[in-house]
Chain A
Amino acid sequence: MSTSLLLLVLIALLYTAGIYLVLDRSLTRVLLGVLVLGNATNLLVISAGGPFGAAALVGRAPEQAMSDALVQALVLTAIVITLGVSAFLLSIIHRTWALDREDDLTEDTEDRSVRRRLARGDQVDEDEFDTAGCEATSDTDDERAGSVAPAGGPA
């Protein structure tokens, strides 16, 4: 099986960019990263189909000269799936924006509760454990916890 070197270089570049973006804290960038990674993977699938050739329409070209139509079908499916997932991601990113006015994947609730407990000298703060209570405690910053949800704080 042979494939185009240029395509491979492009795939590598896209993966690099995609991974860089996904690791970002900004949710919009994570979404962009997912899209770029999706495209990189689609190109990888295309390149798995072997060398390029004529369109796979019977009668237009001899069978040996045709390119593999299966990978194109796979990629089409994958593109549709990526589209749906991106739409969903976009909608929940918008929802986070509507709730918190920010576009940041902030630190873990659990991490923060551990830190607070340590700061308070091992006094267990059950409010943090109660996952149901997450709505009342701010998911963002320690300072905000005071202003947004007075109930969450120990004071």
Chain B
Amino acid sequence: MNPASTLVESLMPLTVLLPLLGAGAALVLVSRPTLQRVVSVLVLVAVVAISVVLVAGAADGPRVVTLGSWPAPLGITLVADQLSTIMLLTSMTVTLLVLLYAIGQGSSDDDSRTPVSIFHPTYLVLTAGVANAFLSGDLFNLYVGFEVLLMASYVLLTLGGTRSRVRAGLTYVVVNVLSSLVFLIGIALVYGAVGTLNLAQISTRMATVPPGVQLAIHLVLLTAFGIKAAVFPLSAWLPDSYPTAAAPVTAVFAGLLTKVGVYSIIRTQTLLFPGDTVARDILMIAALATMVVGALGAVAQEDIKRVLSFTLVSHIGYMIFGVALATPAGVGAAIFYVVHHITVQATLFAVAGLVERVGGSTSVTRLAGLAATSPLLAVLYFVPAVNLGGIPPLSGFIGKLGLVEAGVQDGSVLAWLLVAGAVLTSLLTLYAVAKVWVLAFWRPAEALPAERSDDGGYEGGHPVPIGAGRPRPGASGAGSAAYSGDFLGASSSVAVWRPVALPRMMTAATSGLMAVGLSITLVAGPLYTLTDRAAADLVARTPYISAVFAQATDDRVTR
């Protein structure tokens, strides 16, 4: 074994370990907010650096680590193939930038005395769970990764425990607990059927299982992952729970959590159950419904965060479309789309947080003239928004084009329907984001209905309402934080909304996210080659399986 590969393999577990250790350190440092921030940033920088090494390391074949040196089918394996390393690098980069955004928000809110110190440890635990899920080569370890990230997400979503967050949190927690139970049922069925939980070994043994049983197991797993990925009939929880959370939390959730579900679906489809036509058709129909229903939902909404939540659901459909095609072209385009979508969606939610801060609201009926007052914010919104809609030079267009091409190649009736659906969804998305642009950014502030601005109470003497938002329905009433995107949502004393300048650090972090999104466009060529290679490996299956079993020199099969 050469030194380079041992380096890669010894770094792999660190992506999970470092955030967990960092979470512990951050918890100890609760009374030292600055140090706590430094620790979390350093940990995430290290994880991003490791992810870069892993991407390079996995370029010539999947890397496998057997934890505790137990050989493959006995012990737990971590597998870093191209798919998982690409996902890891993208998600960790976004996580780091969103952390900077959160720090910016925390320091400009000056909330050093509030109990948000729990944010940093929880955030790092979330990161560890995500990394574990991406690298896991074992079905049960994947479940544990899911639980770790979900547990952290429950805490983050209900941060502050305000009424709206507790309410949204309840839906979120109950739905996700149930989906985890479905996943566990799937694990029990898999174990009962093939007697192993090692992904590579399951994939080799699954062929001997009767087709009916295979289909049943497959559908149970797809249901579990479908809930987590928010695929249409199982997506209703998402737009209800995400918008209430703090802006950085929503940004990271939108970027990561559903994508872990999509990642698991990709693994299930390519590694465990390739060539299952029934499930394939079901997935394609679900993808079509997800795209169209989600986009129609986005068009109907008036709150920016809700618009974005619906586009998030809708664009999950694109990824499922590519995965369901199960051709190298389809899967490759889907992986590219995941990378694109993680960054763009996180950027947009971060921008929504900025809009809320500058305009005092996220409802487009109460915002106007943001482009005039804050041109930078307008650019920050505009670029990722048209990217999401799929305007040509940007990565959203490239991803959608790849998917459409793959669909046309496939040529079946269902695939053509999906191609039509994809184009329609792209237009509807563009309509939804353009509506936000026109109302919140482009129309002059004077165009707002007068009654909207005079009951908000601008006692501070600001003659021109920037965004004529009010902090709460009836600003003098019960809810009284200056803007609700702050961590605690409630508390504080000022009832009057004041126009706030763009906070520097949050803006910088958002610009960073946008820059990452744009750089995906710039390196689209090489990236697409990479995702295509990843997809070819996934569809071929042998690289993954043989890499895992090459480790198992002592292949004493259990049972």
Contact = CB atoms under 8 A, between A and B. Distances in A.
B461 to A, nearest CB: 23
A49 B187 CA distance: 11
A78 B184 contact: yes
Contacts of B366: 126, 130
Interface string B452-472: 000000000000000000011
A98 to B, nearest CB: 9
Interface in B171-191: 173-174, 177-178, 180-181, 184-185, 187-189, 191
| Most A C-beta atoms less than 10 A away, residue of B191, B240, B483 | B191
Interface in B217-258: 240, 243-244
Nearest to A68: B559
A110 B558 CA distance: 52
Contact of A152 (B164, B177, B244, B474): B474
Nearest to A27: B170
A77 B139 CA distance: 13
Contacts of A30: 174
A129 B303 contact: yes
A135 B302 contact: no
B174 A130 contact: no
A86 to B, nearest CB: 9
Contacts of A12: none
A135 B479 contact: yes
Contact of B151 (A1, A88, A124): A88
Interface in B134-168: 140, 144, 147, 151, 154-155, 158, 161-164, 166-167
A37 B181 contact: yes
Contact of B187 (A38, A74, A92, A148): A74
Interface string A97-130: 0011000010011100000000000001011011
A134 B559 contact: no
A131 B305 contact: yes
B181 A84 contact: no
B402 to A, nearest CB: 34
A120 to B, nearest CB: 15
Contact of B306 (A27, A88, A89, A129): A129
Given A70-B558, A131-B244, A150 B474 contact: yes
Contacts of A38: 181
Contacts of B163: 99-100, 134-135, 139
Interface residues of A, number: 52
B473 interface: yes
Interface stretch (B42-50, B100-108, B356-364): B356-364
B301 interface: yes
A140 B311 CA distance: 28
B490 interface: yes
Given A1-B192, A126-B365, A135-B489, A108 B478 contact: no
A44 interface: yes
A119 to B, nearest CB: 18
Interface in A14-67: 22, 27, 30, 34, 37-38, 41, 44-45, 47-49
Contacts of A96: 166-167, 170
A118 B303 CA distance: 19
Given A22-B178, A105-B170, A129-B306, A136 B192 contact: no
Contact of A77 (B140, B192, B362, B478): B140
B294 interface: no
A33 B424 CA distance: 41
A92 to B, nearest CB: 5
Nearest to A15: B185
Contact of A130 (B154, B180, B362): B362
B68 interface: no
B477 interface: yes
Contacts of B161: 92, 95
Interface of A: 1, 22, 27, 30, 34, 37-38, 41, 44-45, 47-49, 68, 70-71, 74, 77-78, 81, 84-85, 88-89, 92-93, 95-96, 99-100, 105, 108-110, 124, 126-127, 129-137, 139, 148-152
Given A96-B167, A130-B362, A132-B483, 20 more contacts: A38-B181, A41-B185, A41-B188, A47-B188, A74-B191, A77-B140, A77-B144, A81-B147, A96-B170, A126-B363, A129-B302, A130-B363, A131-B243, A132-B164, A132-B484, A133-B472, A134-B164, A134-B167, A135-B472, A148-B478
Nearest 5 pairs between A and B by C-beta? A151-B474, A134-B164, A151-B477, A48-B192, A132-B484
22 contacts: A34-B177, A41-B188, A45-B184, A48-B189, A48-B191, A68-B559, A81-B147, A85-B154, A85-B173, A95-B158, A96-B170, A99-B166, A126-B363, A130-B303, A131-B305, A131-B362, A132-B356, A132-B361, A135-B163, A136-B474, A149-B477, A151-B478
